[in-house]
């Protein structure tokens, strides 16, 4: 596939927003892949974690926000612990989720959770799931 890049999408508002919310400098990432290599949830992701940063740098807002990856991330901080450049990828993922959630768009809305699940899972699962995934 072909992607045209220019100053417009490299210096995009999208990148600015992500860097502002996460307080991370995405240009510090040198795409070594260590985050992808250690991510426990990568088998369920469509785009690898390291590639997400690359796509944000290339200004590919739709592709990133439409991905499964940012919602599959379990915030386990394995990537954060191992990144050789100190880039906090968990914060970047959170920023990407928040961009959608803050538009009042749920990823998981409380009413969509089946009754059986509500009574089956521990409160902590519900609290943390809704905190991460609902607007």
Partner 1 sequence: MSRIGVFICHCGLNIAGTIEVEKVVKLVSDYPEVVYATDYMYMCSDPGQDMIKEMVKEKKLDGVVVAACSPTMHETTFRNAIASVGLNPYRGEIANIREQCSWVHQNHKEIATEKAVKIIEATIEKLKLDMPLIPLSVPVTKRALVIGGGIAGIQASLDIADSGYEVILVEKNQSIGGHMLQLSETFPTLDCPQCIATPKMVQVGQHPKIKLLAFSEVEEVSGYVGNFQVKIRRKASFVDWDKCTGCGLCMEKCPVRVPSEFNEFLSKRKAIYTLFPQAVPNKPVIDSNNCLYFTKGKCRVCEKNCSLKAINFEQKDSLVEEKVGAIIVATGYDLMNKAEVGEYGYGKYKDVIDGMQLERLLAPAGPTEGIPYRPSDGKIPKEVVFIQCVGSRDPEHYYPYCSKICCMYTVKQAMLYKHAVPDGQAYVFYMDIRCNGKGYEEFLQRGIEEDRILYLRGRVSKIFKDGDKIKVWGADTLTGRKIEISADLVVLAMAIIPSKGAKKLAEKLRLATDDYGFLTEAHPKLRPVESLTAGYFLAGAAQAPKDIPETVAQASGAASKVDSLFSKDELYHEPIIANVDEEVCVGCGNCVNICAYDAVELDLKTKKARVNPVICEGCGACSAACPSGAMQQNNFSKRQIFEMVNIFTV
Partner 2 sequence: MKISYFPGCTLKTMAKNFEDSAIASLSFLGIEMVELPRWNCCGTVYSLTSDDLIHQVAPIRNLIRVKEARDTRVVALCSMCYHTLKRANKLVKEDQEKLDKLNNLMYREDVKYNGEVEVLHLLEILKNEVGFDQVSKKVKMPLKGLKVAPYYGCLLLRPAEVGLDDPESPTILKDLLESVGAEAIDFPYETECCGSYHTVVNVNLVVERAHDILSFAISQKAEAIVLSCPLCGFNLDHRQKEIKEKFPDFKSIPVFYFTQLLALSLGLDEKVCRFELNFIDPRPLLKSKHFIGGV
Enumerate binding residues for partner 2 (CB under 8 A).
Answer: 20-23, 40-41, 43-44, 72, 74-78, 80-81, 88, 90-91, 93-95, 98, 108, 113, 117, 120-129, 131-133
For position 44 contacting partner 1 by CB under 8 A, the verdict is no
Instruction: Tell me if 100 sits within 8 A of 62, measured CB to CB.
Output: no
Q: CA 31 to CA 21: how far, in whole Å?
A: 21
| 113: its two tokens | 């959770």
Site for partner 1 in 11-40 (CB under 8 A): 30-39
Binding partner of residue 26 among partner 1, partner 2, none, CB cut-off 5 to 8 Å per kind = none
Residue 75 sits in the site that holds partner 1 (CB under 8 A): no
CB 41 within 8 A of CB 74: yes
Find the DSSP H helices in the chain: 7-10, 13-22, 34-38, 49-57, 61-65, 69-72, 78-82, 89-101, 115-120, 123-133
CB of 2 to partner 2, least distance (A): 33
- Kindly state the number of chain residues that form the binding site for partner 1, as judged by CB under 8 A: 22
Give the residues lining the site for partner 1 (CB under 8 A): 30-39, 42-43, 47-48, 50-51, 78, 82-86
């Amino acid at each position: 596939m072909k992607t045209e890049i220019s100053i417009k999408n490299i210096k995009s508002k999208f990148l600015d927003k992500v860097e502002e919310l996460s307080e991370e400098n995405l240009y510090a990432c040198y795409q070594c892949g260590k985050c992808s290599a250690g991510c426990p949830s990568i088998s369920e992701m469509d785009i690898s974690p390291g590639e997400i940063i690359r796509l944000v740098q290339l200004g590919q807002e739709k592709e990133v926000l439409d991905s499964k990856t940012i919602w599959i991330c379990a915030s386990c901080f394995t990537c954060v612990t191992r990144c050789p450049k100190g880039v906090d990828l968990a914060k970047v993922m959170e920023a990407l989720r928040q961009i959608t959630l803050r538009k009042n768009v749920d990823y998981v809305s409380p009413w969509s959770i089946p009754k059986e699940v509500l009574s089956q899972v521990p409160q902590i699962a519900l609290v943390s799931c809704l905190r991460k995934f609902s607007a």
